[in-house]
Amino acid sequence: MKEHDPSLLDNPAWFALTTRQSNLALGTAAARRYDAAIAPFSGVDAPTQDALQALKTLISSGESAVLLSTADLPAIEGLKVERYLSLLQMVDEMTIKATDDTQVTRLHPTDANDMLDLANRTKPGPFGIRTIETGNYIGIRDNGDLIAMAGERMRLDGYVEISAVCVDDRYRGRGMAARLMNILRGEIQARGDTPFLHVLEDNAPAIALYERLGFKARKRFTLYRASVD
């Protein structure tokens, strides 16, 4: 894998929304976010009052945006910012060879309802009706039913986030998650990028799986929810 600037991973949503996914961005020079139907994530150029004030203008009454940060965020009048999850960022350190993609299907916008239904049942993290617009998604079907999927979410210079890794409870334990991840990892690496991911810090089984696959813990983040008072 090529060497890339790892400091970009300290602010992944911001660097995604200002580079490779700028076409999906709403916002200004100081703060940007995805449309809520794509993802709840937002990013700021720095954890400052000016940046959070800019973010405030992107959040409508009754909705919220989430923000990954390693720093404490300053208070802003009219903007409620609360900590609610701790995440571990992991980066791929293993080169992947070709992986069997038999029975694996490419997912398209026409599959969005099935993808959303699977995500609602398995809870892999935030997922919306337009999340598929963030990158490549693949899945496995059984008798027409989507039973497993994984895809690309944040894409920034040199790095691509693997996300929405989920398997229907009835099909767990068959190696489907690892298989889908390895296909995506191979494709990402073939394009010259490095895969990374985020996982709940207390999700020991998932962390153990990712470590077996060759991911290494890089940094801990706090996930903040920002809403307009």
Over residues 48-82, the pLDDT tens digits come to: 999 999 999 999 988 999 999 999 999 999 999 99
Please tell me the distance from the alpha carbon of residue 98 to that of residue 119, in angstroms, as a whole number.
27
Coil, strand or helix: which one is 143? coil
Please tell me the distance from the alpha carbon of residue 62 to that of residue 59, in angstroms, as a whole number.
8
Closest CA to 223 of 195, 190, 200: 200
Q: What is the CB neighbour count within 10 angstroms for residue 115?
A: 24
- Ramachandran angles phi, psi of 142, nearest 5°: -130, 115
Tokens coding 68:
């990954």
In the chain the domains, ranked by start, together with CATH numbers, are: 6-88+224-228 (3.40.630.30), 90-219 (3.40.630.30)
Give the pairing of strands 79-92 and 137-142: unpaired
Write down the pTM of the prediction.
Answer: 0.94
- Bridge partner residues of 85 (DSSP): 223
Give percent of the chain above pLDDT 90: 93
